[in-house]
Chain A
């Protein structure tokens, strides 16, 4: 009995690991490329998961496909083009810069520039106002300046 339990315990880990796809790579660099590609490619079925995270059958198919293409010596660009040709730009978590995505890529910079312009206009207005106040004294005639000074002195003396 004890032997049976012990042997079952030994077999169990083997069974559970069989459910997870295991890929073997020739070198560490290829493994890293596989990790990066499956991280950046999006699962077409499950919307907000990449190929690495998703359990859906299509994600596992695409992982196999990435693995196969890596083994055949394809470059990252070729693999990404292969996926885009079939599933469209949707599979990319990093969308390409094109007519459709100009707003996405450059919109924030546009808003930043608008913000800077508004800031510049407001500060310009304030500066003008300050300058107007400074100029006020110079626009008074000598007589008026004298009176202003008297009034201010008066106030101070009290």
Chain B
């Protein structure tokens, strides 16, 4: 019994060690989205392509899709652009939110690097971005057919991230099919 007591500090040390070691593995820049499993915020903003067209959250519903927050001033957005084009080529829907950007510059960018977006919301004030809790482009959300946010990824979407997002979208599509 007495011997056993001598080991208590060691046990406590190992316990704290494991706890802190796990803490070191966490990425503190990855914040959980406050909007997870909540519907997209309401908005009414013009389309990037045509000032005359008003888009609202209703326009994004209908199919599980990626919603990508991007801007021409954001270097990482350029980095992930080719991946977005590939995602489109695979037959998945990508919706763009052009965040605090210049309409003309954005259009030129899409001509130059191809346009993976099914539609593009022009959020020049960043008001939709604010409601979505965007804190730095690029950010990518997965929404389901009802427009509910199911996942949020902050940072560049590369092939590895895409495989994860794809799994989520595929699951949503299957769930939708079994429902109907």
Contacts and interface: CB of A to CB of B under 8 A. Distances in A.
Given A45-B136, A58-B136, A88 B131 contact: no
Interface in B100-154: 100, 126, 130-136
B135 A45 contact: yes
B27 to A, nearest CB: 11
Interface string B19-63: 000000000110111110000000000000000000000000000
Contacts, number: 34
B133 A44 contact: yes
Name B's interface SS: loop
Given A61-B126, A86-B35, A87-B34, A47 B29 contact: yes
Q: How large is the interface on B (under 10, 10 to 19, 20 to 34, 35 or more residues)?
A: 10 to 19
18 contacts: A44-B31, A45-B135, A47-B29, A57-B100, A58-B134, A58-B135, A58-B136, A61-B130, A62-B130, A65-B130, A86-B130, A86-B132, A87-B31, A87-B34, A87-B133, A88-B31, A90-B31, A90-B32
B134 to A, nearest CB: 8
Nearest to A87: B133
A63 to B, nearest CB: 12
A104 interface: no
Given A47-B28, A58-B136, A86 B126 contact: no
A152 interface: no
Contacts of B100: 57
Contact of A85 (B28, B31, B32, B34): B34
Interface string A68-91: 000000000000000011111010
